[in-house]
Structure 1
Amino acid sequence: MAINNSDVKLFESQRLTDEEDGGGRVTGSEVIDGNVNNLFRDISRLDRTIGDVALRKAFIGISTDNSDAYLGSHLILTEPPKDPNVSVLLFNTDDQTDERADARNRIESYVVPGIEASWLPIGDQLQGQRTIVGYQREELAIPEIGEVYKLTTPDEQVSQFVRITGLTHQVATFTYNQGGKFVDFTRRKLEMDISAALITTFIGAQPFPGIPEEETSTVHTTQIADTSRYYGIQSVSANITAGDLTIKAASVYNALVPSAKVESPLLDQYGGYTGKTMVATSASTRNVACRFVHISGNQSRTYLQRGVLPKTLSLSLEGGTFEDDGAGLLIHKSGSNNYSQLTVDYELGEINVWRASSYTTASASASYQPAVAITGAAVSGAIPITNQNRGFNYTLNMAEAKPRPGTLVVSYIALGKWQDIRDTGAGQLSGSGSGTIIFATGSAAITHGCHARPGQRHRLQLCGAER
């Protein structure tokens, strides 16, 4: 006897619900073909209004009394939903006992935390809010609608991924108290609508030129981590004939979770990339005495009162000598080292140190070359992606317009969204990829995490280029 089509059956899992423990092991109950609501319940009016994700776990099995060899089976979708607002996808977790919570985590693992975001929250973002208010430097890239960020409380006990669904921004003037003197500074203020309400209160701080003095929640960008494969169905947009090597489908995408698209017009924006770079204001080295004051915890801070040219700062503190690496970190060079981290803000001339124990209010001496931040026009270029050069690694030769440190940005499209790889100023590239750059020759090597499709372009942008 043979194994017939009628012997291949779909079996229920232990719990066909959308509760946390939905799913589980296989049962002997068959999902009867053609029965209404045999796997999913009816779609309510509320679900049609605000959207819903329903997950059901089922098993493919063979039900026969003979001992014929089972050579394998497969599962496909042969007909799309008749409701255009409903989408169906299949995916496999390769687990016989997992539950709905595990499957949900698998879906949410589509993005993973990356580097710290370019903006900070203004004040506390309260539980239940659907809007986040933040601020950033004017020259930094503005968050885009559709981007996902991870918010984490200061104690790292609660975190939440949020997707930006709407955005307004403007340059605003803020004031802070510096030793009894009120100082004004400008930052871009961001008001971002998010797809889901905040599940807890995320602590923020009032805008500050450098690192906030209070302990605040952290904000991280996210990167694509395609850990699952999803299978759906799409109609073709052109006839298919015998011998065709390509087919045209209506789309290669399908809705995984409910979402909405919003168009936001931008006025009076630069057509090309712009960024700040530090330029020396004096050929001589400035020597100054400074004193660190306690901020909070193990953190102390001082100001040099001038901007600093990267890779010219030398700091003598508590018997140790530290030099900046060009990317905002001070590296121990000689003598004693009682500190876990030292950072410098080149534009503000602000130095922050974190002592390994307690904190410091010690005096120090610093030598550096004064500098000021300027905004320069960008030199841009593009690399066409074809079947011949499609890959993960690319090299760039920018000998005719060598980029200044900290100004190179390489952008590429992944799943319809621009991803950026930025120059840290110390010869490394980081962000949605990695790489290195040699400023003396203008040569760079770049590695990113996903193939660009033929017909797409990698956008290359340089700011403050030297010709």
Structure 2
Amino acid sequence: MPILSSEIKWMKSLTVSDDSSNGGRLSKNEIPDGVKNNIFPDVPQAERTTGSTRYRKVFIKFANPDNLLAIAPKLFVETNTAAQDMVAIFPGSLTDTQATLTGSERLYGAARLQTAINAGSSVLEVNTEGASFNLFRSGDLIRISNKATVDDVAGFEEFATLAAAPSYTGDLAQLTLTSALANSFPATSTKVASCYQPGDLKASSTMPVLTSVAGTFNSALYPIIVDHIGGITQNWLLTFTSASSFNVTGDTLGSIGGGSISVNFTPLNSDFARPFFTLDFHAFGGTFVSGNTLSFTTQPAAIALWYKRVVPAGAASYSGNQVIIGVDCESA
């Protein structure tokens, strides 16, 4: 069964604030869909007057119970804000915080088609939210869509590649494609977005490091399986307490219990009632002694993504403002 849209979940980062600690690792908390201020706070009058830049980090988690690979995911701003602010996205790491941001990160965002285009065209003009944001670049994959929503069956959607850097006249950008479009698109309802492509995604583990004179761990034949629902970013240390038994600790979780080399070890992530990972007992070989260690790091099936909201000084008040981020991928 493929990855379902209901299994793609927007999750909060561990810290949500406006200071240097903002961001960090994946949290257990899902971001509620369609709820006011679920990512950004309101913009009060004083902030609109002076202008502001705020950041929020989210994780797009592929919580598939069968641990399926997400193939070639594409992330894009599906619908930009109706107000005078601008929200763009850019990639993060699984642990970075706002302290590491420079303000010069490569941004991905959306624009509106300025002039209707016909099938066969390879040049289009879009109305951007500011040439200085540089949302479109040579070689970018872009999404062109006049669908009312990401999953709408009506309308057309195409992905195309930019043949060169756009040329600007004010905030209007002329985009040249490497190939002609298959469909015609009206100016009134067509959105054009640059796509962030993080590559195929699957929860993973680093190569385990074993400290033992006579014990072995064959991760080539019996890899560590990280669960797509229960898996997290964590540095794990397995310490033997005897020839067959061990305890396991995580760098932020502390002790999660112990196991034996005679049975599979599947420590439970109680937040999701799923294992953090699975160690196949067949991987253990040779002879262990107390004090031997096995260390490894797990990474979840999640894409770390930063949102950047820029409110220009003197922005007008707007009620019900929102931005919609879309994901497109296959699964296997």
TM range (shorter): 0.3 to 0.5
Of the two structures, which has the highest relative contact order with CA contacts closer than 8 Å and spacing of 6 or more? 2
TM-score normalised over the length of structure 2: 0.38
Structure ID, larger Rg: 1
TM-score normalised over the length of structure 1: 0.28
